[in-house]
Structures are given as C-alpha cells and as structure tokens.
Structure 1
Amino acid sequence: MHLSKLLLAGFVAFSFSAAAPAATVELHGVKIEDSVTVGGAKLQLNGVGTRYKGPFKVYVGDLYTTKKVASLDELIAVPGPKRLSMTMLREIEAGPFGKLLTRGVEDNVPKTEMSKLVPGLIRMGDIFTANKVLNPGEVITLDWIPGTGMVVTAKGKVQGEPFKEPEFFKAMMSIWFGPVPADFKLKDALLGIK
C-alpha cells in the first residue's frame, strides 16, 4: 500500500513537471519562450534584450535560431528558419518606425547594394503605414523560412507576400546585427554576448 502511494505521488509530480510552461525568461512583463516552431523546425532562444530610445523602453526583442549565433554572418549562414520578434512596450506610430528601419538598413548596407533593396524597403514601409499604431503588447515577427522567404507578421496577421530575396533578409537583420546597429546593447543581448 505504501509503495503504491509513493508511485502515485511520483507519477503525479512527473505529470505536473511535464506540463510546466516552457517560458524561461520574463522581461518587462513579456514572457519569452525557450523555443518556438517556425516552418516546421524547432528553434532555440539565441538571446533577448530591450530596445531603448533614450530613457524609454521601446520593445523587447528576441532571436531564435537552429543553433547559437554570435554575429550577422553566423545568423545568415546558420541553416534552417530564424525568427526575430519585437513585443512593443509603449505605443509607437508605425509609419515613423518603418522609416527608422529603412534608415537602419542604409546605415549598414553598402550604397552600391541599396538600389536592389528599394522595392523591398517600399513594401516594408507600406506594411508599417497600414498598421498605423503599434500598442503595448503587440508583436512584430520577422521569420526567415527557407524556400518561402521572410514572412512579416504584425498584430497576429501575416503582412502580404513573403520577401523572397535572401539579400533583403540579410539587409533587414543588419539593422540589429550590422556594424552600426540601432542599439549596441540590444545587439549584444540578442547575440548572447555578455
């Protein structure tokens, strides 16, 4: 009788531990999962951090990859899907936010390559203009899915057709991971650099 109670207690404890939530980090009230599934592949959290503009917290960013990366080149080279997501911490006008993304690309991509990126940058600008305002708690994800391209999701909805060009995905990622990132501390946090 005593042994069966111990076995039952052990089984119950195991059942609860198996059902425990996978969230490993909470940052400014945003729960960050230790893994996500994108394009049928399980990705691991590479890093998480906060984007500041002056003293203000703008968003929590998190990066997921199939294996740990520590640079833009490693991020682009690692096989399989990738995800960068941003969870807003304050209300932001989406149009100006989209213009900041364009400036981030201009700061990190050689001028000789910019002409090829213009159509994609115009489409990205249109996505942000259409969404008007990003409210606290709303999420933007940039998913790279091999064979599909970069899928942009805002407010839970896929925004238009995927951006198929790998060069455009690299240019977008350069905003966060290039030589002149929007926020050096966020770059290091997303790349897991202490």
Structure 2
Amino acid sequence: MKKSIFGKIGAAAVVLTLVTGSLVGGTFAKYTSTAIGTGTAQVAAWKIAMKEGTNPIAGDAFSFNLINMNDKAATTDGKIAPGSFGEIKLSIDGTGSDVGYSYKIEADTSALTGVPIKFYSDAEKKTELTPVSGKITVSSADVALDAVGTPVAADIYWEWNKDSIDTADTTLGVNGSSGTITVTMTADQLIKTEGTPAS
C-alpha cells in the first residue's frame, strides 16, 4: 500500500516537472519591432578664396607691386615716384563653405625704409590708416554662415606723401631705393564665444 502511494506521488512529480518545463521553456507569439540606424559624420566644407586684384592667391604667400594710377605723373610699370597714387585691391570669398568665418587684413609698413607713402581706407583719401608699431589694421569682421557666398572687399588706397621733402625724395630716386609692405590676410572659422550674440 505504501509503495503504491509513493509510486503515485513520484509519478505526479514527474508529470508536474514535464508540464512546468514545457511552460517555462516554450516560445510564445509576440509583437516585436527593431530599428538600426547608421549616423554619418560629414565634415563641413572650408572653402576660402583670397585674391589680390583679380589674381587668385594660391597657397599661403603672394607678391605684388604698388602700381601708379596717376596718368599725370606717369612712371614705368611697377615703379612709383612723387605724385604717384594707387590702390591695393584685396578680397576674401567663402562661397561653398559650410561654416561662417571671421577675417582680418593687416598691412605691415615698417619695411618701407623711408619711402614716404600714406595709406587710406577710402578712394577720396579722407580717412588715413595710421600705422601703429608699423602695422595697419585694414579691415576685420565676422561673416555669418548665410553670408559666406558674398565676397568681402578690402581696398587699401595709397599715395606718395605730398608733404615729403623734395631733397629727400630726390635722394630716394637717385639711389633707386625700394621698400616693402607686407599684407596678411587671415580667415578663421567663426566660433562664437559664450555671451557673444549669434549672427
């Protein structure tokens, strides 16, 4: 009798184990959705074209001569003398760039070595650009992203100083003197600092 009871209990335990196992290990039908995304890190284009006159500046160095535009005091091409005046035409174009930029144009006149030239920001020569420690800030500004396709022009107007002394001018001519002006054009990505109004 005892064996029969224990046998029934054992059989029941086996059946319960099988039923529980099937419930736990079975796969139930269910809804499921999956999405896998791939992000692209596309670098913004930096396209800055600088020009002196109509000449594109290739690389990071360029050369130019002061050209006399005064027909009433004509000189050989590439030479200047008392009565000479002219302009240096500079431009920066960010067409095609995906970012805004800030620019600065400076002129270092410290190596003119006595050649008496005065510089102006306007064709009428009413606003003189006075060197500070030999340097002139011609122009500087921020160019917002929505304006990068509009070229920025910065012209430097110059003339031989009308108040220079004749004997000193003559000495320069007799000696075939020359001097240099170094123009630096810089463009950097526009990154607003904290507290700076957005363009």
* Common topology (TM > 0.5): no
Structure with the larger strand share: 1
Higher relative contact order (CA 8 A, sep 6+): 2
For the pair shown, the structure with the greater C-alpha radius of gyration is 2
Structure with the larger helix share: 1
TM-score (norm 2): 0.29
